Chain A
Amino acid sequence: QSVLTQPPSASGTPGQWVIISCSGGSLNIGSDYVYWYQQLPGTAPRLLIYKNNQRPLGVPDRFSGSKSGTSASLAISGLRSEDEADYYCAAWDASLSAWVFGGGTKLTVL
């Protein structure tokens, strides 16, 4: 059971808009930044979004992050086949003194 809750799966067709949610609590998402990672099959995770809504260089602006209260979302617009991957949210949990991850969302591009 992960501290952060994500839907196990999501899907969309090419060109569509998809949103992946991440729900936490007051001592993780509610009080600190949220980070999002993309993991393509058989590869290491890659930082997609940091500090709730910031994109590292090289991440397309089709990817955007937001946070409200104890929940966060990753939005992907103009879905492409290469977006098919697992997506994880993460945040620091002040009560556990630990980084916590969501269980991951497997995105399928139909």
Chain B
Amino acid sequence: EVQLVESGGGLVQPGRSLRLSCTASEFTFGDYAMSWVRQAPGKGLEWVGFIRSKAYGGTTEYAASVKGRFTISRDDSKSIAYLQMNNLKTEDTAVYYCNGGADAETYWGQGTLVTVSS
């Protein structure tokens, strides 16, 4: 069974950094783009960004709200995608989900909560 497991969430002060991980199992990780999507408390889904597979250059795209502060990377040897979040703001408080795959074979993690507060 395919599993994506996010980790690294927690409470952090504004202006600080945090790195989230998304570990995949039973999944041909290297073949697929990996995305991050977040959901603020009581709000809808917001796309954060994604990283393409190495076959497509491993390049990244980001939402305007996080561009320049967040960085997505991947380690295909470990089947892990990362979300490095710098200069965090209170409005970044959300559950962060990773997802990967394509079309019918798309999988989501259970999410990890990031709370930005002083």
Known: A88-B44, A100-B47, A101-B46. A45 touches B63 (CB 8 A): no
A17 on interface, CB distance cutoff 8 Å: no
Q: Which residue of A lies closest to B103 (CB)?
A: A50
Mostly, the B contact residues are: strand
CB-CB under 8 A from B62, the residues of chain A are 98
CB-CB under 8 A from A44, the residues of chain B are 97, 108-111
Nearest Cβ on chain A to B19's Cβ, whole angstroms: 20
B93 on interface, CB distance cutoff 8 Å: no
Interface 1/0 per residue, A29-45 and B, CB below 8 Å: 00000000101000111
The tally of residues in A whose CB lies under 8 Å from a CB in B reads 25
Q: Which residue of B lies closest to A102 (CB)?
A: B44
A98-B47, A98-B61, A104-B45 given; 9 more Cβ-contact pairs under 8 Å: A44-B97, A45-B37, A50-B103, A54-B103, A56-B104, A56-B106, A90-B45, A98-B64, A104-B44
